[in-house]
Structure 1
Amino acid sequence: MNDLPPDVSRLRVLETWLEISLERVREQISVAEQRAAQQARATPPPPPDWVVQLSIGHGAHPIAVHVGGCRSAGRRGRPVSRDQAMRALTEGVDPCVLCRPDTELGIL
């Protein structure tokens, strides 16, 4: 079963429409590729200087202080200022044993 028209004039119209449609699709592919390339080139923001790691669950509380960029902070790390990091350490929050924020902050 053939679903295309039998005459040349209507087939030519379909051919023209398909060529125009194909060109539009190719243009969109080009735009999408350019956008993806720009996103790949974008540099991530720098890590914060200091991070406080929070406990799991409702009412999460600080459990460790990290130097910004320390992978041990995990997903529960929240950026803090230098003063907040120092305060947390002096109030008994544990320093990370890997990145040693206490040493970096001059608290020994």
Structure 2
Amino acid sequence: MFDDLPPDLQRLEVLRTWHAMWVERIDAKIRQVREREAQQARATAAAEERVPDWLIEYGLNRDSIPNAVHVGGCSMAGKRSKGTDSDTARRALAGGVAACGFCRPDTELGILDG
């Protein structure tokens, strides 16, 4: 069946030892990669769980002015939204940036039109 293997016991034992060492090295590398992937998955899950309290949505241009303010986690916020704190969100609303009509951050922040 395995005619390509050496016929003597000594060389067969050397081959077996050699391959056992490689299997051990491969198993150690598999453990390392699994641990690294598990750490990355935990970090990604932790990052996804952290939803900012407030979002400011920007236009298409990289240097554009803000288009809208949203409550964190608002489904209407676009991909160009960045998390911010409540003071910055208040300043943006006071400076004329539109409040999202869906999540109403102006109401959440206690800013009333007057």
Q: Smaller-chain TM-score range?
A: 0.7 to 0.9
Structure 1 Cα separation of the partners of residues 59 and 82 of structure 2: 11
Equivalent residue for 1:57? 61
Equivalent residue for 1:30? 31
SS of equivalent to 1:72:
coil
Alpha-carbon offset, residue 31 of structure 1 = 2.9
Matches within 5 A, 1:1-108: 4-42=5-43, 43-44=46-47, 46-108=50-112
Aligned residues: 107
SS of equivalent to 1:24:
helix
Amino acid at match of 1:68: G
- The TM-score normalised by the length of structure 1 is 0.79
Amino acid at match of 1:88: A
Structure 2 Cα separation of the partners of residues 59 and 24 of structure 1: 51
Structure 2 Cα separation of the partners of residues 31 and 39 of structure 1: 12
Alpha-carbon offset, residue 5 of structure 1 = 4.2
Unaligned runs of 5+ in 1: none
SS of equivalent to 2:111:
coil
Amino acid at match of 1:28: K
- The TM-score normalised by the length of structure 2 is 0.76
